[in-house]
Amino acid sequence: MNGGEDKARPGAAGQMQPNRGFVENGWFYEEDQQSTRLGIRIDEHLHSEQSRWQKIDVYRSVFHGNILTLDDLVMLTTRDEFVYHEMLTHVPLCAIDDPREVLIIGGGDCGCIREILRHPCVEHVVQCEIDERVTRVSADYFDWVRPVTADSRVELVFDDGVRYIEQNAGRFDLVIVDSTDPIGPAVGLFLADFYTKVAAALREGGVMAAQTEAPFWYPAELARIHKQMRMAFEHVQHYWGTIPTYPSGSWTWAFASNQRRAT
């Protein structure tokens, strides 16, 4: 997830409102604005710090493994993170002919890098994450981070993703937007102006993939994001998967391109 923004969910009126995460009696809870609560039993609080951008914590759970939270909200657990990262990467990569250059905006936990490197045709992966501490902390608690970041094909950039993409027009076969949710500073990563900049950074036939929220909890937000993407891309398709530790357990992603479709 791209650092520096709050993870949040839409309120009853359709506006994005921050979720609330907290620890109580050995359980980590995340409450959203639909009067639901996710609880994960935790066995140890492994790490806590306040970076320039956000609060970073890691917990250990016997069942879920290590859990990364940003601003007290779940970003990933070792038990189910593979679903999020595989869906965000393999779907677009398998639809592109011979993808070689990939950009990840956000993605500080490096799960997307791990999956992208499974494709031998990829020659270069740039990850632009605003909060370096997310990556450094993840390296201490998630075993895939150090091997993938040491790969010669990987370049880590710690900077603002919007600024970076503006400086790299026509360069990438795939841009992955692994962002937090559309509230506060992250709102700009879900608007047509940003998607237009992503489209400009793609080569002919290039694709953007992005996370697009929980379909059953927040259909109005999903529809709004789709409309914004269609202002920048000719083809926008959504697909979904199951992530038990995300709100509602269901999540969606988008495949967007001006030249190709996912199927």
How many residues are listed for the chain in this entry?
263
Helix runs in 142-218, H state only = 145-149, 161-166, 192-201
Longest dimension (CA), the chain: 54
Burial 68-104 (b: 16+ CB within 10 A, else e): bbbbbbbbbbbbbbebbbbbbbebbbebbeebebbbb
Separation of alpha carbons 20 and 80, rounded Å: 21
- The DSSP annotation for 81-122 comes to HHHHHHHHHHHHHHHSSS--EEEEEE-TT-HHHHHHTTSTT-
Kindly compute the dihedral angle of the four CA atoms of residues 247, 52, 57, 165, in this order, to the nearest 10 degrees. Answer: 50
Radius of gyration of the chain (CA): 17
Please answer whether residues 104 and 127 qualify as being in contact, where contact means their C-beta atoms are separated by less than 8 angstroms.
yes
Closest CA to 105 of 198, 164, 160, 177: 177
| Residues with catalytic function | 178
Tokens describing residue 91: 């779907």
